[in-house]
Structure 1
Amino acid sequence: MKKSHPEAAILDKCREVLLLMNVHLNHFPRHEKYGLCQQIRQAAYEVYGLLVECQKRYHNKTSLSRLDVRHEQLRALVNVAFELGYYDYRDGRRSNGLTEANRRFMALSVLINELGAMIGGWIRSLRAADGAAA
């Protein structure tokens, strides 16, 4: 089903990221439960909250820039988790499936990149509207 508003599509994409991300984070090592896992979760939830905030504000340039920065922080945290080998874990234990770890990371990374492209498009459309109004 096609959404009529681009803002609805961006919320759907963010929910998709949240759902997949939580599945992957549940498999990370136990010693990271209150470390990197918590930071990634919090960053993702803040991105979702900022998306809702941006939709509700009339003047949302500062909110969109905060959203863009927080999204980039989320991307960086997910990349650090991959570099530390946390996608190699299954049920809190290291597994031997490197290709599975790569597949899991790439699936989440692609969704995060798509979300970033949508945020960037929103920012560009706002700038274009401001340029046309001037």
Structure 2
Amino acid sequence: MVDQGSCVEIMYPDLYKGLNLKPEDLTIYDSPLLSFEGKVVILKGQIRIPVQAGSEVVEVDFIIVDIYSPYMAIVTRPWLHTLGVISSTLHQKVKYPSGDRIEELVGDQSMARRYLMSAILYQPAAESSASIEGGL
């Protein structure tokens, strides 16, 4: 996901595990971070890894969080600025200069809808049991 309004790149547990990262690969990141709901997020640490976008490779500092998300990662202003990206949320694509040409990364509308529905329908076990108990 591309978030033009944030300044911290985020990596979620599925990608962290998929890359076989371990706690010893991380450096400490101790600044507080708030979720989209305004809750304090549990941080595992920070890691700098190369991310390939088309033919460009950019080193990205990801903050590893331990919360559910339908996304694997969120890239933000530092990544966008490093590549010189122009993004369009309407068209779900980003364009950026690469050498003597313009490269383009295109999002997948149907996948974005599935992610959105997954996020809307997701209820952590603790919240869902609390809401059931509260309704009795």
TM-score in same-fold range (> 0.5): no
TM-score, scaled to structure 1? 0.33
- Greater strand proportion: 2
TM-score, normalised on structure 2?
0.32
Per chain length, whose mean CA-contact separation is higher, i.e. which structure has more relative contact order (CA < 8 Å, sep 6+)? 1
Q: Answer 1 or 2: which has greater helix percent.
A: 1
